[in-house]
Amino acid sequence: MNSSDPFQTLYQKSMLKGSATSESTKEYSENSFLHKKYKAGENFLNPYFSFRGRTLSRIAFGCYRVGLESPDHKKALELSFQEGFNVVDTSSNYGNGESESLVGRVLAAKVESGELKRENVFIITKSGYIQGRNLQIVSELEKKNQEFPEITYYQEGCYHCIHPAFLEDQLERSLKRLGLESVDVFLLHNPEYFLMDREKHNVLETKAKEEYYKRIKNSFVFLEHKRKEGKIQFYGISSNTFPENPEKYTATSLLKVLELAKEVQTELGLKESGFAVVQFPANLLESGFLERKFDGKSLIDIIEANQLLPLVNRPLNAISNQGSIFRLSYDPKESQGEVLKNIKEKLNVVYSWEEEFLQILPPGSYKYTFRTVTEPYLDQFQNQDHLAQFLERTVIPIMQQLIVQIEKIVGTDKQTEYIEKLNDALPLLERYVHFHNIQNSNLLYEKIVTFYPQYKGWNLSGTALHLLHSSLKEGVVLLGMRKESYVKDAEGSFAAPLSAIQEKDWKQFEI
């Protein structure tokens, strides 16, 4: 790695030795706040379970949309360790590499202060995407005719690869960003991009899948060698298509993947396979993981039978049968109208402040303001993703131009002041859109408490997490705990023993 490496500033100065161990994870859990608050018994759910001898928290700190720039993310991660969450899920492409770097910095500081041991924590990372800084690296190599083999050029700005040469490069970079000599789990990140690309180009399905599973097997051979070197403890696949109907072109078959893992184990003469972890989406509106469509078994049945670790992503971002995205967050104790009124008043304070602040600029030096590009559209956003797209494609580019103008005319101090006010306003926009579109969340909540009255009084996110715990029984739910309040809220999902919920019950939640 040289000074031209776009990830250079994200690497840690030193590398922590070790990996999660049975003794240390058990010790950590028994001394945790979570253990003391939710001691296993008839009133609570044990926040921990055992996987291959290691004691893991049922909720992981999910690092999607987590990066270095936000002090809130750092504080939330620190709090999650303090409370007792000892599983972290990140990826090489989360935050363009910054997510792994943040995990590495916080973990190193905790270890240095004596608050944590490396062996207390179960770290998961993933690789496969070629975006951002990785795309820059790949583009430079291609100019020199040194490109990685078997790249899937899915679309502009988003390529994909699971070839061993690329995985070798990515694993080394991930370890340096995390500051670790070994990760506990290394996952192939959405390898189905290969199938999505082949379907788009009308390649015969049988031919595409033959090549797909050949590539996965080759990656497993590579990962077994990395296990032998001690750089990873376990490996697996994160795929959005594991729960899908097996006849679908882009579906990834866990049964087939298990066959491949067994073949690799036999060919390499291993006592056991390192393939041990499966990640997939699941939530109240997406119950494919419970449907018995794999030779009469469900995805969870197969996972349990093979003693795999299930990792559930998107637990609170649900896609309905109609394709609408719902944020499973709702507090029945809050009045929708009153909350909207309070948020709008806070936004108006920001808008008024901005109007007065921008008087420092000469007339005609800017065309748009935060108010003019957001206020007219407040009631038009269908969901949080719709808002996020609007912010990314419209609001942020316009605001960046205005921020540059402020710096040019009145300097960096005023620029910083304006940026800080915008950062305060963005969460208000998110809350406004959430409460404006809360009707369906309320409908779903009422359905749940009709069938399961024990959840009456809980908020929807806690209920959604607890029902996932109940269906997984032993597994990890990956939660985007980007704020300290989210960390605290997650703890509420342990406030009752497992519910007796079956596949048919989930169908009743559909909206």
Residue 2 reports pLDDT greater than 60: no
Pairwise pLDDT comparison (43 vs 137), residue with the higher score = 137
Q: 317-319 and 325-327: which strand pairing? A: antiparallel
What pLDDT is recorded for position 423?
Answer: 86
Can you tell me the distance from the alpha carbon of 215 to that of 409, in angstroms, rounded to the nearest whole number?
55
Among 38-42, 256-260, 459-463, name the one with the lowest average pLDDT.
38-42
Pairwise pLDDT comparison (334 vs 105), residue with the higher score = 105
Q: Tell me which range, 3-7, 47-51, 387-391, is most confidently predicted by mean pLDDT.
A: 47-51
Tens-digit pLDDT profile for residues 137-163: 999 999 999 999 999 999 988 899 999
- How many other C-beta atoms lie within 10 A of the C-beta of residue 176? 21
Residue 185 reports pLDDT greater than 60: yes
**Percent of the chain whose predicted confidence (pLDDT) is above 70:** 96
* H/E segment holding residue 101: helix 98-113
Q: How many CA atoms lie within 13 A of 502 on its CB side?
A: 2
Tens-digit pLDDT profile for residues 328-356: 877 887 766 777 888 899 999 999 999 99
Pairwise pLDDT comparison (1 vs 230), residue with the higher score = 230
Pairwise pLDDT comparison (415 vs 20), residue with the higher score = 20
Q: Name residues whose C-beta falls within 8 Å of residue 163's C-beta, 6 or more positions apart in sequence.
A: 148, 149, 150, 151, 215, 218, 219
Tens-digit pLDDT profile for residues 7-19: 999 999 999 999 9
8 A C-beta contact, residue 361 and residue 410: yes
Match 């199938």 to its residue by tokens.
195
Kindly give the interhelix angle for 98-113 and 71-83, rounded to the nearest 10 degrees: 50
Tens-digit pLDDT profile for residues 285-327: 899 999 999 999 999 999 999 999 999 999 998 877 766 667 7
Confidence grade of residue 41 (pLDDT, cut at 50, 70, 90): low
Which of 468, 457, 450 is closest to 508 using CA atoms? 450
Q: Domains of the chain: which residue ranges? A: 8-327, 336-438
Residue 104 reports pLDDT greater than 70: yes
In 247-320, alpha helices (H) = 254-268, 299-305
Query: Judging by beta carbons within 10 Å of its beta carbon (0-12, 13-18, 19+), is residue 446 exposed, middle or buried?
Result: exposed
Q: Tell me which range, 145-159, 162-176, 372-386, 497-511, is most confidently predicted by mean pLDDT.
A: 162-176
Confidence grade of residue 56 (pLDDT, cut at 50, 70, 90): very high
Can you tell me the distance from the alpha carbon of 82 to that of 66, in angstroms, rounded to the nearest whole number?
18
Residue 199 reports pLDDT greater than 90: yes
Residue 1 reports pLDDT greater than 50: no
Task: Calculate mean pLDDT across residues 196-219.
Answer: 98
Task: Calculate mean pLDDT across residues 274-281.
Answer: 98
- How many other C-beta atoms lie within 10 A of the C-beta of residue 302? 19
What pLDDT is recorded for position 327?
Answer: 76
Q: What is the mean pLDDT of the chain?
A: 92
Match 């795999």 to its residue by tokens.
308
* H/E segment holding residue 59: strand 59-62
Which of 280, 190, 246 is closest to 478 using CA atoms? 280
For 163-222, give the secondary structure using H, E and C.
CHHHHHHHHHHHHHHHCECCEEEEEEECCCHHHHHHHHCCCCHHHHHHHHHHHHHHHHHH
Residue 49 reports pLDDT greater than 90: yes
Which of 503, 85, 501, 475 is closest to 307 using CA atoms? 475
What pLDDT is recorded for position 439?
Answer: 63
Task: Calculate mean pLDDT across residues 242-255.
Answer: 97
CA distances from 128 to 9, 262, 300, 480 (A): 22, 23, 25, 21
CA distances from 316 to 33, 55, 166, 445, 464 (A): 24, 24, 32, 13, 7
Residue 182 reports pLDDT greater than 80: yes
Residue 255 reports pLDDT greater than 90: yes
Can you tell me the distance from the alpha carbon of 66 to that of 64, in angstroms, rounded to the nearest whole number?
5
What pLDDT is recorded for position 501?
Answer: 78
Confidence grade of residue 511 (pLDDT, cut at 50, 70, 90): low
* H/E segment holding residue 461: helix 460-472
What pLDDT is recorded for position 3?
Answer: 52
Task: Calculate mean pLDDT across residues 462-481.
Answer: 95
Can you tell me the distance from the alpha carbon of 284 to that of 328, in angstroms, rounded to the nearest whole number?
8
What pLDDT is recorded for position 323?
Answer: 66
Pick 8-327's CATH classification: 3.20.20.100, 3.40.50.300, 3.40.1350.10, 3.40.50.2000. Answer: 3.20.20.100
Predicted TM-score (pTM) of the model is 0.84
**Percent of the chain whose predicted confidence (pLDDT) is above 90:** 71
**Amino acid letter, residue 116:** L
